[in-house]
Amino acid sequence: MTLRGVERPGAATIARHGTVVMPPVVPTGRDLRLDLFRGLALWLIFLDHIPSNLVSWITIRNYGFSDATEIFVFISGYTAAFVYGREMNERGTVVASARILKRAWQIYVAHIFLFVIYMAEIAYVSSSFDNPLYSEEMGIFNFLKQPDVTLVQALLLKFKPANMDVLPLYIVLLAGFPPMLWLVLRRPVLALAASVTLYALTWRFDWNFPAYPSGTWVFNPLAWQLLFVFGAWCALGGAARIAPVARSGPVLALAAGYLAFAFVIAMTWYIPHLAAFVPKWFAEWMYPIDKTNLDVLRFAHFLALAALTLKFVQRDWPALASPLMRPAILCGQHSLEVFCLGVFLSFAAHFAMVEISDGIATQVLVSALGILIMVATAALITWYKNVEGKKHGPRQTPPNADLAGGEA
């Protein structure tokens, strides 16, 4: 039985019993849509993380249930399976697992690096800020007064400052990925069933990881794994399997209807007078739309978005090659670096708004500047990797493997 590679002709075809039928040398072109949408998701996450930013009105979270996080996690699962799945078939389960764990370790180090920057920022802010109106809010600086506890809790991934919850989620997802990948490669349906079961049990029994100083993780890995595994399943043949259904008329109509419904509901969040039109029983059934545990409404919203996107943005969409798309694609190809940079830049942008001006002009400027820096950095990394690649000879590492989601 052959797993139907990736949903495209000419992609690597992975045979079940460990032998791999590969197109010669470099895998033929990667699916640029993955990079494009991951790049866009990174930009949106950056914009959403700048508090009181007018520009964040353009981001998708304001027009429906799901947001950029879903896109990011799904594509990360997809690329992780694509890259490490091939690795697992070529070099065995142990080697591939080791590489996955190495990647998780890299992300852990990146997270701790960001945490240090965060601590530097709040230390600076706390030294200059003593407005008597905010004696309560200044309690947040108390973490500085007990570094023994705060630092240890941060290293344990229990203390996570605001907006620094995505990388810990990612670390846990990758750390738990090897056995799941092994299963997806062999019994994809069983793997998906296991993932759904874990998700259901998590909802049923309120499982989550503990956080410090109280509460639980903002992104519950036990629930969000559903999206990650679903991405992996799609990458290893699932997408091809469901494509006929996902592209059928009724499904697309359903997806469009659901997106419209979510849009209307989202409008009631911003125009309180509209909220009166939502029947009370319905509101009680629907709310809260739980982000922590990846609410079914959010998951469905992501699926609807994905179905419509795949319909209108085909793999061979000419615009994918246009220079206009290049910036987002570049960012998507170096997602870890650009993600971390984005977290830092959103701190910096907020800092600029606090210290210089909070006018609309500043908000637009720091938002645009931030994205520009993300793009420039991604371009620099691409250039550097190309240079390095040439030095080591053409086939030391497949040039595309890294792009194809070593940046998983």
Partner 1 sequence: MRVLAAALIAAMLVGPALGADEGGCFVASSFVHADFALPQVAAAIGAKHLNVAVVGSASSTLPGAEGAAKAYPARLEESLKRRLPAVTVKVTAHTRARETAAEMAKSLQQVLVEDKPDLVIWQTGTVDAMMGVDPDVFQAALDEGLETLHAAKSDAMFMNMQYSPRTDSMIALGSYVEAMRFVALQREVPLFDRLAVMKNWNEMGVFDFYSTTKRIEFAERVHDCIGRLLARLVVDSADLAAQANNSGAGSSDVPNKDIH
> Residues interacting with partner 1, by CB under 8 A?
49-52, 121-122, 125, 128-140, 161-163, 211-216, 218, 272, 275, 280, 283-284, 287-288, 291-292, 346-347, 350, 353-354, 358
| Closest separation in Å from C-beta 376 to partner 1 | 23
**What is the sign of the dihedral through the CA atoms of 33, 99, 163 and 53?**
negative
Q: Which is nearer to partner 1, 93 or 292 (CB)?
A: 292
Measuring CA to CA, how many Å separate 143 from each of 148, 151, 159, 192?
9, 9, 10, 41
Q: Which is nearer to partner 1, 90 or 121 (CB)?
A: 121
Cβ(265)–Cβ(220) below 8 Å:
no
Q: Which is nearer to partner 1, 190 or 356 (CB)?
A: 356
Amino acid letter, 370: G
| Closest separation in Å from C-beta 9 to partner 1 | 44
* Cα–Cα nearest to 406, from 36, 100, 156: 100
Residues 6+ apart with CB under 8 A from 295: 65, 288, 289
Q: Which is nearer to partner 1, 218 or 243 (CB)?
A: 218
| Closest separation in Å from C-beta 407 to partner 1 | 26
| Closest separation in Å from C-beta 366 to partner 1 | 13
Residue 110 CA from chain centroid, whole number = 15
Q: Which is nearer to partner 1, 184 or 297 (CB)?
A: 297
Q: Which is nearer to partner 1, 138 or 401 (CB)?
A: 138
| Closest separation in Å from C-beta 148 to partner 1 | 19
Q: How far apart are CA 380 and CA 384, in angstroms?
A: 6
Provide the 10 A C-beta neighbour count for residue 370. Answer: 25
Q: Which is nearer to partner 1, 52 or 309 (CB)?
A: 52
| Closest separation in Å from C-beta 292 to partner 1 | 7
Q: Which is nearer to partner 1, 138 or 254 (CB)?
A: 138
| Closest separation in Å from C-beta 282 to partner 1 | 12
Share of the chain residues as helix, strand and coil, in percent rounded to the nearest 5: 70, 0, 25
**What is the sign of the dihedral through the CA atoms of 373, 377, 383 and 384?**
positive
| Closest separation in Å from C-beta 37 to partner 1 | 24
Q: Which long-range contacts (CB under 8 A, 24 or more apart) does 258-262 make?
A: 258/300, 258/301, 258/304, 259/64, 259/301, 259/304, 259/305, 259/308, 262/63, 262/64, 262/65, 262/297, 262/301, 262/304
Element (H, E) at 82: helix 68-91
